Amino acid sequence: MSRRGWSVAAAVLLPLVLAAVAVGGVLFLRQGGFAPYRVPRDSHRTVASDAATLARGEYLAHLGNCVACHTTRGGVPFAGGRAFALGVGTLYSTNLTPDARAGIGDWSADEFAHAMRNGVSRDGVLYPAFPYQHFAGLADADLDALYAYLRSLPPNPQKPPENRLAFPASSRLALVGWRMLYERPPGAAPATAPSAPDARGRYLVDALGHCGMCHSTRGPNGSLPAEGYLAGGRIPGLDWYAPPLDSRQLERYSVAELAAYLRDGTSPHGSAYGPMAEVVYAGLRAISLDDATAIAGYLKSLPPRPEPAPAAAGAEAAPRDAPLANGAEIYRTYCVDCHGDDGQGKPDAYPPLRGAVAVTAPDPVDALRIVLYGGMPVTTAGNPRPHTMPPFVQTLSAGEIAAVVNWIREGWGGRRSELGRADVEAVHGIATD
C-alpha cells in the first residue's frame, strides 16, 4: 500500500478505534472500573459457625443447587470436577471443600463473597458458566452462612482437570473484554434477604436460584441480555430446552401446584425430566413450602410474553417420505397404553402429553430426548414411586422417532412439526436407522 493509501486508511480507522476505546472505557467504568478485579485482602472478619448458621448455609446450598454443579457423577459432594461441554470446549467445576490446596480452605470470608458477587478469585476472572451475575444480588448474611457451611464440610484434595477451551475463550484477558461488552452490574445487594413473599420470591429466582441461567434466551456469545429474561432457550452444554417462565406458560398451574412441582418434581400437568429433575433432586426438594410458594407466586406474576404462533389450520403438509407418515400407528403400538388415546395420561402414574411443555415448546429437543432415552421423574417425598418412561433408541428407527414426535406435537401441541431422520440423529449423535 502506498503512503497515501496508509494515510487514507488511518484517517478512516483511527476515529473508529478511538470510538471503540471510548465506549469500552465507559462500559468498564459502569462496571466499577478495576474494583471488581481486585481481590480483597483478608480483613479477618469473623463469620459465625454455630449450628443455626450451618443449618442455614446448608439450606441455602440446596436452594442454589451447588452440589449438582460441583460434584462428579458418583463423586465426593462439592469436590468439583464436573465437566461442562460448551461450544468452545470443556469447563470443569471447582472444588468447594475446605481443602487448603485444592479447595477454598484458606479463603477468607471476604474473598469468598467477592468471588461469588464479582466472578473474580485469587486465580483470576471466573467463567460466566458460574452464575456470579445472579449471585451478585445475594444478601451479606446469606453469603456468610454459605461460607460457614462450606467450611464445615470434610476437606477433599481432589483437583479438577484443567479446562480444555479453544482460544480466545481460554484467555482470562479475553474474559475481561467479554465482560466489558456484555455484563451490566446489578444494583447493590441487600444486607439481609427480604422476607415479604413477593420480594422473597424474586430474590430466590433471580439471585440464589439463578433460574435465568437456564430459562433465559441467550444473546451474542452466550450473554444474558435483559430482554431475554426468563424467556426460555436451549441450555448451553446440555442440549435441553428450558421453557419460558411467565404467567402464560404457567397459567394451568395454580400457585399451590407449582410450589408442589418445585419440591416434588411432579404435578397433574407433567413431571420434571433431564436437568430440571436434577435440580429438584439435588436442591429444591429440600426447600420449605413457604419458599416454594414465594417462588411460584413470583413466577406466575410475570407478564406474559408474546404467544408463539399456532400451527396454521388447514395448511398443506410438506411432503414426507413414507417412514415419517405413520406416527399415529407408532403411537398406538408403543405409547397408547400409558398416555391414552386422548394423550391425557393417567393421574398419579403417567404424565399427560396434551399441552405438555415438551410437546408445545418451539424447540423439539426435549421431546426427542425423552423418546430416545426415556426418563424417570425424580423420587421425592411427594412422588415416592415414580413411573419410568422406557427408552426407544434401540426399538425405533430415527425415522420412526421423528414420525411419532411430529404426530404428538402437531396433534396435542399445536405445533407444525417437520422433524426428519437427520434431526433425530443430530440429537443422538449417531445414526439410529
**DSSP strands (E only) in 216-269:** 233-234, 241-242, 266-267
- For 96-99, the CB contacts below 8 A with 24+ separation are 96/66, 96/70, 96/150, 96/153, 97/150, 97/153, 97/154, 97/155, 97/156, 98/150, 98/151, 98/152, 98/153, 98/155, 99/155, 99/156, 99/157
Closest among 275, 266, 209, 208 to 237, alpha carbons compared: 275
What is the model's pTM? 0.85
Over residues 10-56, the pLDDT tens digits come to 555 445 444 444 444 444 445 555 566 677 777 778 899 999 999 99
Signed CA dihedral, 42, 43, 48, 53: sign only: negative
Over residues 153-195, the pLDDT tens digits come to 999 999 999 999 999 889 988 988 988 888 877 777 777 888 8
**pLDDT score at 247:** 92
Are 419 and 406 within 8 A, CB to CB?
yes
Over residues 383-402, the pLDDT tens digits come to 888 888 999 999 999 999 99
Signed CA dihedral, 405, 409, 415, 416: sign only: positive
Are 185 and 103 within 8 A, CB to CB?
no
**pLDDT score at 19:** 46
